[in-house]
Amino acid sequence: MRVDEREFQAIGLLWGELTEFPAGDVAGAREHCFAELARIIGSENVFWVAAHQAAPDAGDLLDGWRPRAVARLHSNPALDQKLADVIRQMNGATVDPMTLANNREAGRTRAFLRGELVADETWERSALVNETLRPRGVRDRIIATLPLPGGREAHIGLDRGPSDRFFGERERDLLHLFLLGSQAFHHEQFLAYGVALPALTPRERAVLSLLLTEMTEREIGEALGLTWRSTHQYCVSIFRKCGVRGRLGLMALWLRNPGARPPAT
């Protein structure tokens, strides 16, 4: 990665700051994240997209992937409506070429300069640019994507205007670096927007409901008729799917999202 020590420390500091936001202040964490990424990397705006994959129809260019929530550092209601129209077109046969190219890499952590996904001429002709981005004064874009369990992907991108230089490999690598330590942040954003909780088996859902109580793993196993070893294996699987390291992280994930509820068993 083309990242120096000072930049690495700035991204590491941001990772730490995001974990320190009060429970329930997911919007505050998001706004701080966007503002700091714009400052560290250098951009006029930051956007985030929660994508979820459903069973695709025949001929679906995006293989079932659809944006379910969008957030930005700086919003413009009129232009936001135009963007919503562009997103709706994805349910048909119209997909902007940059989204299509990035979607071909679905399933792996990735970061791209705009020119690594689409040629200049293709970018300039696209409806996304002409109807949404150019009116916003967007000249260039980088985008990075983090796959999450349960058929979900978090996309985060940065935009620059006409007076700014184009993004380079350094900026792309900085954004990629941020992704590598920000899985819990993206999980919390998905929960806050109510987008597709991780796919859990019926048994995992039962264990999760009890993990969010004061019961020990042995007590959970006894309540569900499981051995301690099986219960522990279910717990490890749940932690992995939710992007946390342990029970405290799982509790924090639910506390930060008052709208989320333990799944019914």
Which range has the worst mean pLDDT, 69-73, 135-139, 250-254? 250-254
Residue 153, token pair as written in the block: 């992907």
Q: Answer whether residue 34 shows pLDDT above 80.
A: yes
What is the rounded average pLDDT of the residues 68-92?
A: 75
- 5-192 carries CATH number 3.30.450.80: yes
Q: Answer whether residue 130 shows pLDDT above 70.
A: yes
Greatest mean pLDDT range, 92-96, 165-169, 258-262 = 165-169
Q: Is 48 helix (H, G, I), strand (E, B) or coil?
A: strand
What is the rounded average pLDDT of the residues 49-61?
A: 86
Q: Answer whether residue 26 shows pLDDT above 90.
A: no
* Residue 175 near residue 158, CB atoms below 8 Å: yes
Give 251's contacts (C-beta < 8 A, 6+ positions apart).
212
Residue 40, token pair as written in the block: 């560290």
**Which pLDDT value is given to residue 24?**
66
More confident residue, 15 or 80: 15
Question: 79 falls in which pLDDT band (50, 70, 90)?
Answer: low
Task: Indicate the CATH number of 202-255 among 1.10.10.10, 2.60.40.420, 3.40.50.800, 2.40.160.10.
Answer: 1.10.10.10
Range list of H helices, the chain = 5-19, 26-37, 77-89, 97-103, 114-117, 120-125, 127-128, 169-180, 183-192, 202-211, 217-224, 228-242, 247-255
* Residue 41 near residue 7, CB atoms below 8 Å: no
CA 106 – CA 101 distance, rounded (Å): 10
Question: 191 falls in which pLDDT band (50, 70, 90)?
Answer: confident
Residue 168: other Cβ atoms inside 10 A = 11
CA 84 – CA 89 distance, rounded (Å): 9
Q: What predicted TM-score, i.e. pTM, was given to this entire model?
A: 0.76
- Over residues 224-250, the pLDDT tens digits come to 999 999 999 999 998 888 778 889 888
Q: Answer whether residue 39 shows pLDDT above 70.
A: yes
* Residue 134 near residue 86, CB atoms below 8 Å: no
Domain ranges of the chain: 5-192, 202-255
Residue 46, token pair as written in the block: 């930051």
Residue-wise burial string across 4-30, b where 16 or more C-beta atoms lie within 10 A, e elsewhere? eeebeebbeebbeebeebeeeebeebb
Output the average pLDDT for the chain.
Answer: 87
HSE-CB for 32 with a 13 A CA cutoff: 17
Q: Answer whether residue 176 shows pLDDT above 90.
A: yes
